Chains A and B, each alone.
Chain A
Amino acid sequence: MKKTFLSKRLVTSLGLFLAIALAASFTVRQELFHQPANFPDPVYNTGANPVTDAGFTLGKKLFYDPILSADYTISCGSCHIQAAAFSHHGHDLSHGIHDLLGTRNAPGLQNLAWYSRYMWDGGITNLDLQPIAPITNPVEMGDTLSAVMRKLNSHPQYPGLFEKAFGTDSITTDLVMKALSQFMISLVSADSKYDKVMRKEGASFSPDETLGFQVFQEKCASCHPEPLFTDQQFRSSGLPILEEGDEGRYLVSLDSNERFTFRVPSLRNLKFTFPYMHDGRFYTVDEVLDHYASGISHATRPDPAFKLPDGSYGIPVSPDQRKALKAFLLTLNDTAFVKNPLYDEAGSQLYIK
């Protein structure tokens, strides 16, 4: 009697196991978060927040849901648009609730698991803490965290989705942030032509791109090193002070040596993430290169990396070098990333089971 019971149990568990394995093989169409072969180990602790189908789906729903803003008008996705590599397409500055304008350019979101600090000034020290800033900023989403928790906990769908993702329908700050992080770290962009050349996946640089890669390595790579194309340090590009006079990282570090410094942005997906610089003042790569050629201002204490042997500041490049450099920079665009239906707002039901 007992034996029969046990073997029945065994068969049932085996069947269940097979069913789960089968289901998993069907639903995991693409690894949600992965470390590309040409990338270092990620900084984000995925051990404490492993990406799951349900967590990713929930994070994506939250990312595109204006419920996170005070008047249900602004979502994370409002200013981080996939087609613009999750930057705010064409906007120098972004408008939040009540059409209020921010002071800095919404950066693209990609490869976030490899960053140790977030925002232009690095004021945020962990990706899980990042969404608190835009949610509570009065000119972005203008809400309070407690209101967000109340709205989510009393929502007809969210408690169930948290149950699926985390095994509890009690929605906490920790779980909201973990869900958002699961979606955000899954935004891995590593399928540009450059990546395919580096990983020897059958692509190769044209002569122009090859020359441009050399120019890049000689003139740009010290601050924009591969494979993230940023050293994540805080530097001043010697941008002339505009009316507002944003003091950059100084505002969080209070270190006067860091006045007017901003995090070196990644050059990946450059084509999609214009306008450039912390305040979006340049709309084209040429304007940026013109600035580095001859526009650096001493007023904002440019980074020593720009210093030339004659004591002036700049990155001089010949017209041929510039043409080649621009050709190389175009190889950093990852079209598959900006078109991946996995991240698509409209495809947000893909993973709901």
Chain B
Amino acid sequence: MKSFILFTTFLFLLVSCNRKMAAGNNPETASSTLTLRFENSAGNQRVAMNGDRYTNATGEAFSVTLLQYFISNISLKKTDGSVITLPQDSSYFLVKESVPESKQITLTVPKGNYASVSFMLGIDSLRNTKPLAERTGILDPAGGAEGMYWGWNSGYIFFKMEGHSAAIPDNKAGTKKFRYHIGLYGGMNSPTVNNIKTITLDLKDKQVAKAGPGKKPVVIINTNILQMFTGTENISIAKNPVVMVSPFSKYIADNYASMFSLVAVDNQ
């Protein structure tokens, strides 16, 4: 009896799976993929964590030992004006300079011509307050988000960059290390700094991304970390080697909102 029930359940599951797969193959609702490829640079140089030195707007030379940031809440606008918003649960990504695969985000999208792409740098305020059961994978503070979550001030770190600069005055440890850990989603019970930034890149500047059967466009995005140091407020590493939960973080976030630019659309 038991085995019969198990077998029937198995058959039922098999059938339902097949149905889903069939729906995926339906030409009416055919889906393709669109890839966002992030290339981290410092001006004209590629970011490398091998001691290479870059120079910021203040003229300070620095090297990078860690660079990672959350990209989330991705939406795409078609040339006909319709907007495709990716299912939120599968719309959180952590781009890590040290993990090449993480710099390519491949999205399943309906076929069509895409004119622009929008994404959040950071994690939306709602997800910052969700139960842990809804923070798995890349959002799990013990998993993918380890090191990108503040346990003492509930919330995610959106952008993290660390490195060394000789411009930094000797601190107690004498490491001349800078640490920028930028987060803050605006506060749950009372308002605080909101460093969530939404970025929109117009693909038409280069060419629309054409997704369809056999067409899997790649949108190449340059993330220029030098932008973090310049804007309405220039950031001096010597003056502000450590910025985490502070009002000053706002200036860094305002600056890094403009660090993304479109390199090319590769309509493969």
The contact of A173 among B142, B153, B184, B245, by CB within 8 Å, is B142
User: In the complex, what's the smallest C-beta–C-beta distance from B248 to chain A, in angstroms?
Assistant: 10
Cross-chain contact A145 with B141 (CB below 8 angstroms): yes
* List of B residues within 8 angstroms of A145 by Cβ: 141-142, 146
Cross-chain contact A125 with B188 (CB below 8 angstroms): yes
- In the bound complex, how far is the Cα of B132 from the Cα of A254, in angstroms? 25
Cross-chain contact B151 with A129 (CB below 8 angstroms): yes
- In the bound complex, how far is the Cα of B245 from the Cα of A255, in angstroms? 12
Cross-chain contact A174 with B193 (CB below 8 angstroms): no
Cross-chain contact A122 with B189 (CB below 8 angstroms): yes
User: In the complex, what's the smallest C-beta–C-beta distance from B155 to chain A, in angstroms?
Assistant: 8
Interface-lining segment among A70-78, A131-139, A184-192, A217-225: A131-139
Instruction: Determine whether A117 belongs to the interface, using a CB cutoff of 8 Å to chain B.
Output: yes
Q: Which of B132-155 contact A (CB under 8 A)?
A: 132-133, 135-136, 140-143, 146, 149, 151-154
Instruction: Report the tally of A-B residue pairs with Cβ distances under 8 A.
Output: 79
Instruction: Determine whether B129 belongs to the interface, using a CB cutoff of 8 Å to chain A.
Output: yes
- In the bound complex, how far is the Cα of B184 from the Cα of A177, in angstroms? 23
Instruction: Determine whether A300 belongs to the interface, using a CB cutoff of 8 Å to chain B.
Output: no
Binary flags per residue of A116-127, CB closer than 8 Å to B gives 1, else 0: 110100111110
Instruction: Decide if the interface of chain A is mainly helix, strand, loop or mixed.
Output: helix
The contact of B152 among A124, A173, A253, A254, by CB within 8 Å, is A124
User: In the complex, what's the smallest C-beta–C-beta distance from A79 to chain B, in angstroms?
Assistant: 15
Cross-chain contact B132 with A174 (CB below 8 angstroms): yes
Q: Given A146-B143, A149-B142, A173-B141, are A135 and B131 neighbors across the interface (CB < 8 Å)?
A: no
Binary flags per residue of A99-127, CB closer than 8 Å to B gives 1, else 0: 00000000000000000110100111110
Instruction: Determine whether A144 belongs to the interface, using a CB cutoff of 8 Å to chain B.
Output: yes
Instruction: Determine whether B43 belongs to the interface, using a CB cutoff of 8 Å to chain A.
Output: no
By a beta-carbon cutoff of 8 Å, the part of chain B in contact with chain A is 129, 131-133, 135-136, 140-143, 146, 149, 151-154, 184, 187-193, 245-247
By a beta-carbon cutoff of 8 Å, the part of chain A in contact with chain B is 48, 116-117, 119, 122-126, 128-129, 132-133, 135-137, 144-146, 148-149, 172-174, 177-178, 251-255
Pairs across A and B, CB under 8 Å, 18 listed: A116-B189, A117-B189, A119-B152, A123-B152, A123-B154, A124-B151, A124-B152, A128-B131, A128-B132, A129-B151, A133-B152, A136-B151, A137-B151, A146-B143, A173-B143, A174-B135, A254-B245, A254-B246
